Structure 1
Amino acid sequence: MVFRRFVEIGRVALINYGPQHGKLVVIVDVIDQNRALIDSPDMVRTQINFKRLSLTDITIPELPRTPPKKVLKKAYEDAEVEQKWANSAWGKKLAVRTKRASLTDFDRFKVMVARVKKSSIVRRELGKMQTSRIFTWFLVTSNSVIMLCCSQQLFNEKQVLFQCFLL
């Protein structure tokens, strides 16, 4: 697999260490082999070591070197950086992580109860399908949906779909 995340002007990066941890920034200039000048619409332009940056696949095309704040903000919004980040697997994973970290004790209890209910329903339906010998396959998808599907003849009659409560 070819490496495609190069340090370049307009590359969106995630700060992975320090007081600005978890913040999306744009590289606006490369100072030397170890440091870059970064900026974001809601932060002050500053320099940072490359070791404290994680490069993303998102870039802002045609961004000039060290653009004024107004130009950067417009390019940032035109490139829809926040939407692209929210739709990426990495962004979703970090969102889930922060949501889980912010759960209260009662929220964790509700998640546990929902998982127990889901497991009992799945176990019951799976048992029914196995005893009637129409069980074909079992699939757990990444978007928290569990699907039990039957043989091709009975697919329309006997499809069972459960929505999981997973955070």
Structure 2
Amino acid sequence: MATAQPPAPETPAQQFSIQKIYLRDVSFENPNAPHVYSGTTWEPKMDLGIESSNRKVKEEQYEVVLKVTIEAKIEDKTAYLIEVHQAGIFMARGFDEAGLGPLLGSFCPNILYPYAREAVTSLATNGGFPQLLIEPINFDALYAQSQEQGQAPTTANA
């Protein structure tokens, strides 16, 4: 008597892995040095911008780039401008379009954010400025907002 074999699954199991995390681009500008270090109390107006983009590198492999821009101003003069493009290569297998969107638009930027935050903080400190603490970001909410607005990349201004 032959035993029945279970049917083969029609869709492969979902798999995800981090292939590589790296700095793609970094910029630090201190246009008003050395005058920015003297004469005023350090109470800057901070502008934070976050953008996320992704592209397919090859089959089941995607590059996600998280762009973090911070401008600190004192009395309408730029104290510093920092821009970090933190990137990663991610393998995503078995995801349909509905699952791939949130993975690349929210989950991967969430992985990259601590690396970008550390790079930004290090640049500010190495530039002679006080420690910069950047708050956590809800990439799930940003992704949902970008989908409602019909945008592909995740963008935020704080």
TM tier, shorter chain? Answer: under 0.3
Q: Report which of the two has the higher share of strand.
A: 2
Higher relative CO (Cα under 8 Å, sequence separation at least 6) belongs to: 2
Q: Report which of the two has the higher share of helix.
A: 1
Rg (Cα) greater in structure? 1
**Normalised TM-score (structure 2):** 0.25
**Normalised TM-score (structure 1):** 0.24
